[in-house]
């Protein structure tokens, strides 16, 4: 593994991500210590459910900050792969929806889209602006980090099917079926909904279907191109499904009293489908990284010493 110093592009992207995280982390610290800054109802942040959710989201962003630092340091190249990939998979799945929908919401509905709730509009602007910055920064820094750490993954090569490929195909086809139902349901919900909900459901639905289709292409060995779409689609299904399940389990002001019915089933099946897709992708990448380079249509007895072996055989028949 090459442990050279991070380039200027990777460092700049990580710095942008860290700078975008600091206002959000500061706001969470203020809320956890009893401040009501940016809150219309001062009693909101004293609700036990809100305290727990603020602590959870603070921890999630703190993990993102540590990862952004790791992308600029040599010790970050020595971290266990799962310790980097798992939180990045969930984090980019959550942030990708915000990166796409937040600017569209402002264009479609203006600042009024953030008014009328318990949180003041400027907080939404600061938070979502920060999410966009950290989403773009983290994704860029991680891509450059992965290119340096796992250079072979960015190099075209011939691979052979791993021992679990038949099972992977079954999982990929099943994931596509369920993701199409979940994503299609979200697309139906997008029609006639308010601008914010319509955009979020539309983007989540499209990512779910596209991610499952991309996973199937990966399993069927159609090259590394669909990897990013499969990564984001599965991460979106799992990350937002898990977040929704936590919100509805703890209750509190953010649950909105909308738990139950088809919405819960969509979130639950999205969570499970994203988890299955992520595990399938992890096994696929692990197997292919261990296979290495192979030459297509090569005879099993033909190796580097093929000519010398043939010469020895010819000599024996003389």
Q: What are φ and ψ of residue 48, in 5° steps?
A: -55, -40
Strands annotated E in the chain: none
- pLDDT tens for the chain, residues 1 to 318: 445 667 888 999 999 999 999 999 999 999 999 888 989 887 888 888 899 999 999 999 999 999 999 999 989 999 999 999 999 999 999 999 999 999 998 888 777 777 777 888 899 999 999 999 999 999 999 999 988 888 766 665 555 666 778 889 999 999 999 999 999 999 999 998 888 889 999 999 999 999 999 999 999 876 667 889 999 999 999 999 999 999 888 876 666 554 567 888 999 999 999 999 999 999 888 877 654 433 333 443 444 444 444 444 444 444
Spell out the residues 6+ positions from residue 123 whose beta carbon is closer than 8 angstroms to its own. 27, 38, 39
Q: What is the pLDDT of residue 302?
A: 41
Q: Is the dihedral of CA 160, 166, 171, 177 positive or negative?
A: positive
Using CB atoms within 10 Å of the CB of residue 141, give its burial: 0 to 12 exposed, 13 to 18 middle, 19+ buried: buried
Angle between helices 81-109 and 227-250 (to 10 degrees): 80
Instruction: Measure the CA–CA gap between 202 and 115, rounded to whole angstroms.
Output: 22
Q: What is the pLDDT of residue 22?
A: 96
Q: How many residues does the chain have?
A: 318
- In three-state secondary structure terms, 134 is helix
Q: Is 260 left (phi over 0), alpha (psi -120 to 50) or beta?
A: left
Q: What is the pLDDT of residue 244?
A: 92
Instruction: Measure the CA–CA gap between 131 and 114, rounded to whole angstroms.
Output: 16
b/e 181-195 (16+ beta carbons within 10 angstroms → b): bbbebbbebbeeeeb
Angle at 252 between CA 112 and CA 94, to 5 degrees: 60
Q: What is the pLDDT of residue 233?
A: 96
Instruction: Measure the CA–CA gap between 95 and 143, rounded to whole angstroms.
Output: 15
- In three-state secondary structure terms, 290 is helix
Instruction: Measure the CA–CA gap between 15 and 13, rounded to whole angstroms.
Output: 5
Count the helix, strand and coil residues of the chain and give each as a percent rounded to the nearest 5: 75, 0, 25
DSSP designation for 38: T
Tell me how crowded residue 99 is: count the other CB atoms within 10 A of its CB: 19
């Amino acid at each position: 593994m090459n442990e050279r110093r991070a380039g200027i592009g990777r460092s700049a992207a990580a710095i942008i991500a860290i700078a975008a995280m600091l206002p959000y982390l500061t706001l969470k610290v203020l809320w956890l210590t009893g401040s009501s800054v940016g809150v219309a109802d001062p009693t909101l942040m004293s609700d036990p459910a809100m305290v727990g959710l603020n602590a959870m989201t603070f921890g999630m962003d703190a993990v993102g900050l540590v990862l952004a630092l790791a992308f600029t340091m040599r010790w970050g190249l020595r971290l266990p792969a799962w310790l980097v990939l798992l939180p990045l998979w969930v984090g980019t799945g959550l942030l990708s929806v915000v990166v796409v929908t937040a600017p569209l919401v402002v264009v479609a509905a203006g600042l009024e889209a953030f008014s009328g709730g318990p949180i003041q509009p400027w907080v939404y602007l600061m938070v979502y602006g920060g999410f966009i910055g950290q989403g773009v920064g983290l994704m860029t820094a991680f891509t450059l980090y992965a290119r340096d750490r796992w250079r072979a993954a960015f190099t075209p090569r011939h691979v052979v099917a791993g021992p679990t490929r038949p099972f992977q195909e079954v999982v990929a086809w099943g994931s596509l079926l369920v993701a199409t139902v979940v994503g299609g349901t979200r697309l139906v919900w997008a029609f006639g909904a308010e601008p914010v909900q319509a955009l979020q459901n539309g983007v989540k639905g499209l990512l779910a279907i596209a991610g499952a289709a991309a996973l199937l292409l990966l399993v069927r060995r159609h090259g590394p191109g669909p990897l990013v779409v499969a990564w984001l689609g599965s991460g979106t299904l799992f990350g937002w499904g898990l977040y929704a399940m936590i919100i509805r389990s703890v209750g509190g002001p953010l649950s909105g009293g909308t738990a139950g019915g088809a919405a819960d089933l969509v979130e639950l099946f999205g969570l499970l489908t994203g988890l299955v897709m992520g595990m399938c992708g992890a096994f696929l990448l692990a197997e292919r990284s261990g296979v290495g380079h192979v030459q297509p249509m090569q005879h099993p007895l033909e190796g580097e010493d093929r000519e010398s072996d043939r010469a020895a055989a010819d000599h024996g028949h003389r």
